[in-house]
Amino acid sequence: MADSRPSSVHLSPTPADRPVYVIGAGPGGLAAAHALRSRGIRAVVLEKSDQVGSSWRRHYDRLHLHTTRRLSALPGLRMPRRFGRWVSRDDVVRYLEKYAEHHELEIVTGVEVFRIERSADGAGWLLHASGGRELTGSAVVVATGYNHTPRVPDWPGFDGFGGDFTHAAHYRNAEPYAGRDVLVVGVGNTGAEIAVDLVEGGAARVRLAVRTAPHIVRRSTAGWAAQYTGVLVRRLPVRLVDRLARPLARISTPDLSAHGLARPETGLYSRVREGAIPVQDVGLIDAVRKGKVEVVAAVEGFEDGKVALADGSRISPDAVIAATGYVRALEGLVGHLEVLDGRGRPVVHGPRTPANAPGLYFTGFTNPISGMFRELAIDAERIAGAVARALA
């Protein structure tokens, strides 16, 4: 834990007892804290766990960034070249630890913020935190993370399922599943990668339950990373990107319709705008073509200890791994402020603040096609600029 205050704190436009509070010591929170500090603004990071990057520490072992090292660095510190082009989970954690230390960020661990509300004088924000703490800040940056709370669908009959069930949030590696029949539910990047990991780790049978066929892209083609394309098309019209993506998909990825994965009818960028990021291929295409990963219909529920699929079939896997996503879980924290949309997401993010909640900022609650770390870095600088202007 880094707990040293910047030497320029006496220049801070924030009152000594009202720093800017940053909630969450993941990449978004750390980047925002550094950007604020570099402008002479005291920023205090509050982290409920006992370490920075707690969510990254819990990810599965084989995880690597799907974005390049060069475009994944946070402001003020490059990622070491020795990390390679696709940075591993463990190296991401090392980088976040080094980032906090290098920038001498003021981080307080073991403090969970439960509720944010306007301060009594209306000039700041009051944070209700663990241990009965009440903290008043001049502004607040919420960076609690996109993958906050595991989501498990309300499947009929689930309570009666006696098999081995876990959410992907708790999956680490394939070792416990060697020689077993495993069903992975959900074909986002996490579900796809876990399915491949199970195959390579010796699972006897791997099935992948798919409700909506995803767009699948190569992580890199002839050295050109998919992220580069994501950056280039980020600001283009949705229909134009959809139109350009179709012929490229036919050239770069094979048709897997015969194996249960038809090409999506909805355009690639249209799906991104709905929150569905393309699956970057790290072995799924070959595993499906070779029959090592069997694509099955979506899960509809559980009956008599079996898994009921949308096509009417029933299967009896030894284990089920639900790669069914996460919820932001912001309702208790800020839901009463009317700053969330119908899906529980902040109505604004980055340097913009809600009209009815000036001084309240959100970062890391979108899943951009150009790369999460890259956008977190950009948001951090913009948020710090907005805070500096507001405080001035």
pLDDT tens by residue, 100-126: 999 999 999 999 999 999 999 988 999
For position 163, what pLDDT does the model report?
85
8 Å CB contact between 369 and 234: yes
Q: Which domains does the chain have, with CATH numbers?
A: 9-148+328-391 (3.50.50.60), 151-325 (3.50.50.60)
For position 13, what pLDDT does the model report?
59
Host H or E run for residue 54: helix 54-57
Q: Is the pLDDT of residue 1 over 70?
A: no
Residue 144 confidence class, pLDDT cut points 50, 70, 90: very high
Residue 145 confidence class, pLDDT cut points 50, 70, 90: confident
Average pLDDT in the 333-339 region? 96
d(CA 360, CA 124): 9
For position 75, what pLDDT does the model report?
97
For position 35, what pLDDT does the model report?
98
Residues 147-176 pLDDT 10s: 889 999 999 999 888 889 999 999 999 999
CA distances from 223 to 85, 228, 391 (A): 11, 10, 45
Phi, psi values for residue 274, rounded to 5°: -90, 0
Q: Is the pLDDT of residue 9 over 60?
A: no
For position 248, what pLDDT does the model report?
86
Residues 23-77 pLDDT 10s: 999 999 999 999 999 999 999 999 999 999 999 999 999 999 999 999 999 999 9
Would you state the structure tokens that stand for residue 9, as one six-digit string?
């704190």
SS3 212: coil
8 Å CB contact between 105 and 1: no
Task: Give me the long-range contacts of 287-293 (CB less than 8 A, separation at least 24).
Answer: 287/195, 287/196, 287/199, 287/206, 288/208, 288/256, 288/259, 288/260, 288/261, 289/254, 289/256, 289/259, 291/259, 292/199, 292/206, 293/195, 293/196, 293/199, 293/206, 293/207, 293/208
Would you state the structure tokens that stand for residue 29, as one six-digit string?
């929170």
Residue 222 confidence class, pLDDT cut points 50, 70, 90: confident
For position 5, what pLDDT does the model report?
38
8 Å CB contact between 345 and 328: yes
Residue 274 confidence class, pLDDT cut points 50, 70, 90: confident
For position 147, what pLDDT does the model report?
83
d(CA 247, CA 354): 40
Q: Is the pLDDT of residue 10 over 90?
A: no
Torsion (CA) 271, 277, 280, 281 in degrees, nearest 10:
-50
8 Å CB contact between 198 and 319: no
Residue 12 confidence class, pLDDT cut points 50, 70, 90: low
CA distances from 213 to 132, 256, 279, 301, 390 (A): 47, 10, 10, 19, 45
CA 349 to mean position of chain CA atoms: 15
d(CA 149, CA 6): 33
Residues 186-219 pLDDT 10s: 999 999 999 999 999 999 999 999 999 999 999 9
Question: For all residues of the chain together, what is the average pLDDT?
Answer: 93
Residue 367 confidence class, pLDDT cut points 50, 70, 90: confident
d(CA 359, CA 318): 50
